[in-house]
Structure 1
Amino acid sequence: MTYVVLENCIKCKYMDCVEVCPVDCFYVGENMLVIHPDECIDCGVCEPECPAEAIVPDSDDRAAAWAEANRTYSTQWPNITRKGEPPVDADEWKDKPDKAELFSPAPGKP
């Protein structure tokens, strides 16, 4: 099992999860984070840290739609090991549903 970042992260990107990850398996895009599934050790410490509830185990039905995006973009985006500043409007986007169309494939800055 591994953990997967869902569309809830899009435009929120709080990064609280990055601080607690013992293996630094988060990668940063322009408007969301992803988890590298081969680096994740399934410890689960990131899941409760996410204010947007955007992290779930891959066994969760919601993970299926985002598992491949996590795998793909974790090999293209830069690794992030420290919490940065979330977008200034993150709180406005936190509970908005259906953000998939806002996803950006562009890499972020660690």
Structure 2
Amino acid sequence: MPHVVTGNCSDCRFTDCVLVCPVACFHGDDQRMYIDPVACVDCAACIPACPVQAISEIADLSEDQRMWIDINAEKSSSTPVIRSKQTPLPGAEERRAALGFS
């Protein structure tokens, strides 16, 4: 899996990433987004699109973040594909500010 969505996406669920994805590899539930490891073509267009820097290449993950590889693989197979921008979760802007992004 070339890219994964990490914990920064939790409780905000900005979907700017889906707008730049050429293969619709993003899936989501009511709390966050996930990347399908089979569909992702490693284009990296989603990385700068994320307003909370929640998307990383696997090679850039720290050891304590590597759990996101399995979480994305598992959850993307059981959640719907998200192909269009959606309204962020209530409190998303506050979460973004708490993470240090404006």
Q: Report the TM-score, using the length of structure 2 for normalisation.
A: 0.89
- Structure 1 moving runs of 4+ over 4 Å: none
Query: 2: distance between equivalents of 1:49 and 1:90?
Result: 16
Query: 2: distance between equivalents of 1:16 and 1:72?
Result: 22
1:95 Cα deviation (Å)?
4.8
* C-alpha distance 95-71 of structure 1, shift in aligned 2 (>3 A): farther
Counterpart AA for 2:85: K
1:90 corresponds in structure 2 to: 92
CA RMSD for the aligned pairs? 1.3
Q: Percent identity?
A: 37
Contact 1:8 1:95 in 2 (8 A): no
1:93 Cα deviation (Å)?
1.1
**How many residues in Structure 1 have an aligned counterpart in Structure 2?**
97
Unaligned runs of at least 5 residues, structure 2: none
Q: Report the TM-score, using the length of structure 1 for normalisation.
A: 0.83
Pairing 1:44–2:44 present:
yes
Give the secondary structure class of the aligned counterpart of 1:80. Answer: coil
Give the secondary structure class of the aligned counterpart of 1:34. Answer: strand
Unaligned runs of at least 5 residues, structure 1: 98-110
Any idea what the Cα deviations from partners look like across 1:45-77, whole Å, max 9, x if unmatched?
A: 000000010000011123512010000000000
Query: 1: distance between equivalents of 2:31 and 2:93?
Result: 14
2:15 corresponds in structure 1 to: 15
